[in-house]
Structure 1
């Protein structure tokens, strides 16, 4: 049984609008898992995505395989409801905004291009995908719950590796591990005061009736919520940073806050509605601009830290914890950068940012670089120094050189086996119906057989 849920949400989000238009014509139930239904349009939408990714070269049983994966997803989703696994509105809204911002970054921040591509506003697109995303998050969380306790021992890792035929051992290209110390240049006091004054002016214009809060957010706010007039959606306590949350919860519906400072900049907040302990807020965010002088000041500081590491005043790990910017992923991993494609800390040359690649190309293991400028995913100016922490030559996989990778592969295999067992067990206690036109599919015979057991009362 294949257990990967087909097509990540982001890829669905990037599908040409024509695929959705084609799929929405079809609306017929072809399967049921507990209280969850699979429509023919669900299947055809996934099939269209698979075809678009393979240039039409699909296996004859592709629809059967996709249906199997959809059934797995619905089984997990149905169980998440039975287990009262909650996906909060704030989680969904946060994920939606992150995906919208990511897509806009592909389009150079152009709202017009986004709306032309999807044929609708950003707000309408979010509404279209909101419940699909809620289901996806529930499925992912339920799967994590099922396999949460799976662990592997060193003996299991060795056994897993020993079972791989020698001629099937993977060949790893040259890889490196890279550490980083990141610094975020801070705007100077004069710039901060100017930003506060601008936001105070916006507040005064709203109170004077010269513009609505929504118009101000669309015109001035410097984050992804600007497309929705600053609306951050419904949320409970714990979503926002403490300064923002304290100010928001102290407002009455319709009331504007004063200027609130957080790590993201300066906010003007409006409480839209309140339902018990849940609130819906909007904001206008302004960020003080970092000047060349601010960047240079941070560069000099970071360069001095690099020099102290080079002369062994302290080690790289200590410098990360003592002086590094703590909002980057590497901070909690002793500065080691994570390869998002693999999930581990090893990078093939092609996986590296070009600036880092050219920086470490002539470095020896243990060397620390000069200061490098870069921008974070939000577009903020950042600085870092990097350390080359390991370098391996191309080689066949071995326990000595690749234990961490083999351990990950062992754990994934054990998780898949554990999840397969859970699915088989859960099928036996779940009502399942599959349309007869798909009952010849080899990949879903276990679903059909178990549904017959339930129907016959066995």
Structure 2
């Protein structure tokens, strides 16, 4: 069983070798094989963007590691999918769509945290990948930026699509029973979080390092951007020398924003700022209206195993008091929990979906550590304490309560109208995007290597 688990982990992690290959292939189009120089081949051109043979090979390796199946021949479907991505990215540039470094970083952190949970620890992940976590983040940056731009472009194109109750009834009127969607199990979960206490010694160590950076910059020994690239633990901005692009106050942590927006001299370094992410020093680059451009260096204090164990013991004690009815889970969440997002909802977790904000989760939509625990609970039952990594990459300790559970079933119009509506809406959006791609191909310069011209493509118009 142990060997099987290792094989599963390795298979899932093999995708990491593919992330970032696209960016690398565009910068390095030749390498050496058996002493001979091999040139990476341009196989498609879409607009002014080239698709390389190495891009196709990277996507093929990724799809095989994730067991992704393509419609038709992969030799044709993979380059076509890359070409479609180019169309969306081109339109995103025309429409001036942007994603923030914060959005990119959050996506990267979620992926890295998933890998850490899968393989067991940061150290094992770094050993497997033969890279530091920081190097992985840097390599993944452009790939995640493009993914998010494509997603935003798609959302922009379908934002006005709507369906009425009549549309839903008409669609499912003649659908065979075996085609009616299955509604997966829904759960509502309450959570209490305790953040392990960081020792004063560790905080002092972090602050001393930041003071040392400030002294070195002020003495002219080095630059702020050089130190940010070397030491900052904010992966997205570190690779840019710590620089955050023009940002409004509302997009920043309040404590960070209060200091950043009060800076007036680009030559001066801020005092040390504590945010929910860690400790920073900040340097002003420019102000433009109600937006600001700054550089920063982030250092995150490390939590000891002893602090984690103390938090787990504290939560286990709280769970026992709840079980003997000294107080309710909801009251404990309101007055004890550190989780800002849920404590004002009596601990109830909320899920952001395309249809809006809801307290109902599919099991796969829960953080994986929580889903594993919830799967073992009965309705009303409170878990033992366990450790997890939150959305900001911090170790936290939690207990959860399964508030409600609706077992999976075939959808009905009366009980699951929203689910059925989502099916029809998704179909209309898919048709809209398909038609957009077909029309976009007609007005975009496309050149395809001759060997692809006999392909049976999903979209018409590539061959001109």
TM-score by length of 2: 0.69
Q: 1:439 aligns with which of 441, 445, 453?
A: 453
In structure 2, the CA distance between the partners of 1:268 and 1:132, relative to structure 1 (3 Å rule), is: closer
Identify which of 275, 286, 290 aligns with 1:262. 275
Deviation, structure 1 residue 194: 5.3
1:328 deviates by: 4.7
Does residue 382 of structure 2 align to residue 369 of structure 1? yes
Query: Offset of 1:144 from its aligned partner?
Result: 1.0
Does 1:81 pair with 2:93?
A: yes
The counterpart of 1:247, out of the listed 235, 243, 259, is 259
Taking a change above 3 Å as real, the CA distance of residues 354 and 34 of structure 1, as seen in their structure-2 partners, is closer
Partner residue in 1 for 2:8 = none
* Counterpart residue number, 2:16: 13
Indicate conservation of the 8 Å contact 1:177/1:336, yes or no.
Answer: no
1:317-365 C-alpha deviation (Å, 9 max, x unpaired): x99788865545898899256599xx962348x98734323331xx4xx
Deviation at 1:77, TM superposition (A): 1.1
Structure 2: which 5+ residue stretches go unaligned? 1-12, 32-38
Please tell me whether the aligned partners of residues 42 and 53 of structure 2 are also in contact (alpha carbons under 8 angstroms).
Answer: yes
Quote the residue 1:65 is aligned against: 77
> Displacement of 1:141 after TM fit?
1.0
Spell out, residue by residue over 1:93-125, the C-alpha distance to the aligned partner (whole angstroms, 9 max, x if none): 5544554555455555546853x6555666655
Which residue pairs with 1:39 in the alignment?
52
CA contact (8 A) 1:17 1:118 kept: no
Deviates more, 1:275-284 or 1:418-427: 275-284
Asked if 1:355 is matched to 2:373, the reply is yes
Distance in 1, Cα, partners of 2:327 & 2:165:
34
Aligned residues of 1:47 and 1:66 also touching (Cα < 8 A): yes
Counterpart position of 1:157: 168
Q: The residue matched to 2:274 in structure 1 has which SS?
A: strand
Q: 1:82 to 1:257 in 2, by over 3 A?
A: closer
The residue number in structure 2 matching 1:7 is none
Partner residue, 1:391 = 406
Matches within 5 A, 1:100-139: 100=112, 102-103=114-115, 106=118, 108-110=120-122, 114=126, 117-118=128-129, 125-139=136-150
Say if 1:259 and 1:268, in contact at 8 Å, map to a contact too. Answer: yes
User: Cα RMSD between the aligned structures?
Assistant: 5.0
Match of 1:180 in 2: 190
Q: Does 1:278 align with 2:264?
A: no
Aligned-partner Cα distance in 2 for 1:283–1:106: 27
SS of match in other structure, 2:406: strand
User: In structure 2, how many angstroms separate the alpha carbons of the residues matched to 1:397 and 1:386?
Assistant: 27
Match of 1:359, SS state, is coil
Secondary structure of the 1:164 match is coil
For residues 230-262 of structure 1, give each alpha carbon's deviation from its aligned partner in whole angstroms, at most 9, with x where no partner exists: 964433324530212333452755755434232
Query: Is the CA contact 1:180–1:387 (under 8 Å) kept in the aligned structure 2?
Result: yes
Q: Which residue in 2 is equivalent to 1:5?
A: none
Q: Residue 377 of structure 2: SS of its match in structure 1? A: helix
The 1:261–1:440 alpha-carbon spacing in structure 2 relative to 1, beyond 3 Å, is same
TM-score normalised according to structure 1 size:
0.70
1:182-221 alignment, distance < 5 Å: 182-185=192-195, 187=197, 196-203=203-210
Q: Give the whole-Å Cα distance in 1 for the aligned partners of 2:46 and 2:229.
A: 43
Shift of 1:162: 2.8
| Aligned twin of 1:237 | 247
Structure 1 segments unaligned to the other structure (5+ residues)? 1-9, 453-458
Instruction: Name the residue aligned to 2:157.
Output: 146
Q: CA, structure 1 residues 75+285, in 2 after alignment: closer, same or farther (shift >3 Å)?
A: same
Equivalent residues, number: 419
